[in-house]
Every structure is written in C-alpha cells, then in structure tokens.
Amino acid sequence: MERGPAPALRRLRIRLVPVSLCAAALSVFALAGAPAGSGAPAGSPTRAPAIAGQPAGAPTNLPHFSDNRPHAELAAAIADAMTDEELLAQTLMFGWAGLDPSPLVTSWVAERSLGSIKVFGWNTDNTQKVAESVTLLQKKAAEGRFGIPLFVATDQEGGWIRHIKGRTSETPGNLAIGASGVPADAWYSGYYISRELAALGINLNFAPTVDLYTDYESTVIGPRSFGEDPESAGILGASFMAGSREAGVLTTAKHFPGHGDTGSDSHGKLPVIDIDKKTFAERELVPFRRMIQAGVPAIMSGHLSFPRITPNGEPATFSKKLLTALLREELKFTGLIITDDIMMNGATSWAGSVSKAVQLALEAGNDIVESSTTPGFYDALWVNNIERMKRSEAFRSRVRDAAYRIIRAKLDYFKSGSAVPIFPDLDNIDERIPDPEGKQFFLSLAARSVTVVRNESLPLQADPTKKMLIASSFPEFLSAGRTRYPDANVSGINGQLFRMARASDTVIVSLASESEVPFVRDLQWSGANIVIVSLLSPVLLDRVPWAKNAIAVYSYAPDSFRAAFASIAGDFEPRGIMPLKDVQ
C-alpha cells in the first residue's frame, strides 16, 4: 500500500499558492537523484558549447579549458600538466580588502592561477564596482596557461545575510520562507537572488543554510535557518537550489554536518555540539541527505566539533571521518566540498596556524579552502604546503584529486550553456539590480510569512479619537507605520518610550534584539493596548509572555515592515505558521 507523505511534507503541500508558483516548485522534485554534472556523454558532438565571454583559441602544446574533449578526460589532462603550484592554487579561494581588487589578489590570479575568489560585504557597497572587479579578475584568469575561469563566490542567503549590498534586493529570508511553508517561495527566492548575482558575474552562492534552528538562544544561525524541522529544511533548501540553478548560479548547502544546535560562533571559537549518533543521523544529517539527493553541487564544511561522533572532537573541517567516510562514501556526495573561512578561530585555534589548517582541511577531503584575506606571495600558508607536496606523495595526490574535481566541475558548469557569463554586462547592471520581477514577489513572500502568535484585539482600524504610538529602532518601520496610521506618534526604543506609551491608547512596537527587551517589557505597566511585532528571531516573544497581541515577520526587510502593518490593519488574514514549535 502506498504511504502518504511525511507530516512535514504534508504541511508544505497543503498551503494555498498561485498555480504558477506550485508548478515551479515541483521542478525541485524532478531533480532528485540527478547528478551535479555529467560532462560529455558517449556519442555527443565533439564541439563543446561556447563559454560566454571567453576568448577563442588555445595553445597547441598544452591542454586548454576551451578544448573540445570529454570533461573527465580534459580535466585529467589539465591536472596532469599542472605544476605543484598550479594544483595547490586551484584549491584556494581568497577574498580581498576594499572595493577594488588589491594588486596582491590580482597577482595571485595572474601569476599563480588562483582557482576561486570570494566577494565579501566590505567589497560590495557599489554593485557596478563589484561587476568591474569580477571582470578584471576573470580576464586575468583567462590569460593563464590553461585558461581556467574563476569560481566567484559570495554569501547571499537572503534576509539577514546579504553580502552583496548596494542596490540588491532586501529579502525576507529563510525563516520567513519556513513560516510560509511553500516550496515555491524558496524556489523563487533562490531564483531572484541568483538573477541579481548573475548580473554581477557571481557564479557560486554560499547558500542555502540548511542548519536547523534547534538552539533557540543561538544568534549565529537563528533566522538564517528555515526552521527546526529537518524534512522541511531539506525540501525548502532543495527548492532554493533549484531556483538558483534556473538562474545559472551554483549553490552550496551549509554548514555540514549542522551548525544549528549551538550558540557559539566559529568566528570566535570552536563550537562543540554534544549530541549522540542517533540524533546526529536523524536530525542534523536529514537536510543534507535531501540536498545531495537533489543534486546540490557544493557543500560547505563547518568549523564544528562533534565529540560523540568523531574520536578526538576535531572540527568537521579537519575530519576525514566526517568528510571522506561519511559525506563522500556513505552519503555518496560527488560535488565540491568547500571550507568555511579558514581564518576563523574555530579552525586556526585547533590547527595552531593557518598553514596547518590548510593542510588538515585538504587532507580531510575538502576541495576548496576559503580565506577571507589574501595571504602574501610567500606566506607560510603557501610555502609550507608546497614543500609538503614535494615531500609527501600522498598529500600531493590529495591536492591533485581536489584540483581535478574543481576543474571537472568548472568544465561541467561553464560549458553547460546555462552558466553565468564569465564577463558580466557592465552596461546593464542598473536595469537588472534590483531584479524588476523580484520586487513584487518578495513583498508577497513577506505577506505569506506573517504569523499571528497571539491575538486579542487584531486587526486595528485607524481611530481618530484614540492616540496611537509606533515605536522602533528602524526608521523604515516607523515610516511604514505612519503610512498606514498617519496620525500616530513615533518613538525610538529608548528611555522615552514608557512615558510616551502612558499617553497613548495603543502602542505598536517592534522587537528585534535582546537589548530592546527591557524597554518593551516595561510597556506592560503603561496601560496601553500593546501590539508587538517580532522582526528577526521570534524567540524574543518568550521574554514578553504578558503581551496579548504579537505577530512575527522574521526579517528587517522593508517589505516585511509593510506586510506587518498591512496585516495589523486587516488588509489580509495572516496565514504564516511558526517554524519553531515551542514559541508561543
């Protein structure tokens, strides 16, 4: 007898959404089990698809990225022709300081054949400048001996984590998607976010986060998660991936094997997640299994210790048991394994040095080692690992295997016909960012995510005989409130709030951080009707159990503010479902 869908999947399927959205969401399920890229099959034409933006022609004495050969064969030929320095450089991904690429990172690409670059938030106030930087570095890469393009990565998860700023869309984010419960919302979030990245020449996104929101006090993952249900996180993550793929951008499931059950941040120290093997297998690994089944092209390893899973509690980044035995051999993942920033204390404190951290990461099974900074040309990170390649055939073989996997992935991607162009169209950035079609979608997602947590007197109609106060630390929240209630007074969340609340009949107040809790808590004695709008983590609503009216919107995005006030005013009936089971 055929079994029905799992409870989490059942809940996701029954939500009412436009037919067009549902149809798009179904594409993710068709991808289940598909390989990340299979290269040129037997009997296929010998001419490879054109690589957008790459100059034609190649040296005849060396294999070249533009050669028309089966991908596996060409990747092996290039890897075999590389020097030790070229092999190691292919496994490295560097960021740089400032808006313009530094001469140092440019030299790494031009002279050392660096394999990948990472665009961070400090590089991105000007989206035009981002596209120009990508163009410059890709041109340097194309001039290399083998003409191998760069993977250009960033963290554009949506919501709270938005490294590419400037004109890019501010979106409700993953926890809002979890509250909507609609796979199509994840699909279109991935799609529109990725269309903006593609306009800039960014081809690899370190998203989605499929860590679970199991530690309610965590400020590291929190609203970056789709929620605490493993199956839902996997379904929504796979949908985000499929939408991104449609826009031509590669995705990365993170942070393997799961960062959700800790309040510690690996930027500062090594988080320890003390869970047993059963919980680990039945909770943490579930979203990653589903992402692998759906063909995710990359997984990010986390600087996370699981002392009851690995014998000595080393970070997953350095664990051959977790990355090779579990991820590669047991879970059958064939894509790229990429480290989180190797400069984080969670990695270097264990390894003792950045140089050693790079060595351990590669030996454990990572293919790409990410660094937020650009090391010097003769930094120990480089010199020590080149020397190790010359001394240890096993280490050299591991680096060569990683470089081969990267080159093969690049061939599969850049010659697929659907990749992000290597050189972005610099004359068309403003027309594509923010995405003109995404604007209406993200507002509708914000509305679908609004969750009524408590309700005694909602909706609220404007009443000229009553005094209303709107309070927030966000000017955009105050502006959205005044648009809906023009006669309302406004206040920050500070020492004046209680006095102004006592002179009001109704107070609509946002709650976004632990530091605001004391000011909001005092409002219970103001005598006013209080409506609390939770803006990021709804866990803070547990700090104000006396509040009889509370909604959650999970985001700082202006669209979420507008959706909040539209729901408070009764424009629509909120249907979001709290993605954290114990928040009431």
Cβ(415)–Cβ(71) below 8 Å: yes
Which tokens sit at 347? Answer: 């990695």
Single-letter amino acid code for the residue at 360: L
Q: How many CB atoms lie within 10 A of CB 60?
A: 6
Three-state secondary structure call for residue 305? strand
- 369/341 Cα distance (integer angstroms): 8
3-class state of residue 475 by DSSP: helix
Asked if 160 and 553 count as a contact pair (C-beta separation under 8 A), the reply is no
Cα separation of 449 and 153, whole Å?
A: 29
**Is 54 in contact with 211 (CB distance < 8 Å)?**
no
Block residue for tokens 């990565």: 153
517 burial level (CB within 10 Å; 0-12, 13-18, 19+) = middle
- Please tell me the distance from the alpha carbon of residue 6 to that of residue 3, in angstroms, as a whole number: 9
Cβ-count burial 130-167 (b if 16+ within 10 Å, e if not): bbbbbbebbbbbbebbbbbbbbbbbbbbbbbbbbbbbe
The helix (run of H) or strand (run of E) holding residue 550 is strand 549-552
Burial 329-365 (b: 16+ CB within 10 A, else e): eebebebbbbbbbbbbebbbebbeebbbbbbbbbbbb
User: Under 8 Å CB-to-CB from 527, ≥6 apart: which residues?
Assistant: 502
452-467: buried (b, 16+ CB within 10 Å) or exposed (e) per residue? bbbeeebebeeeeeeb
First to last CA, the chain: 38
Structural tokens at position 477: 């929240």
Q: Which among 228, 224, 225, 226 is positioned nearest to 214, based on CA atoms?
A: 228
Q: Record the tokens describing residue 155, joined without a space.
A: 């963290």
Distance CA 68, CA 51 (A): 11
Tokens of 144: 């290399």
8 Å CB contact between 513 and 490: no
- Give the catalytic positions in this structure: 267, 340
Token pair 């080393």 is found at 314
In contact, 339 and 369? CB cutoff 8 Å: yes
Residue 255 · residue 302 · CB < 8 Å:
yes
Residue 251 near residue 190, CB atoms below 8 Å: yes
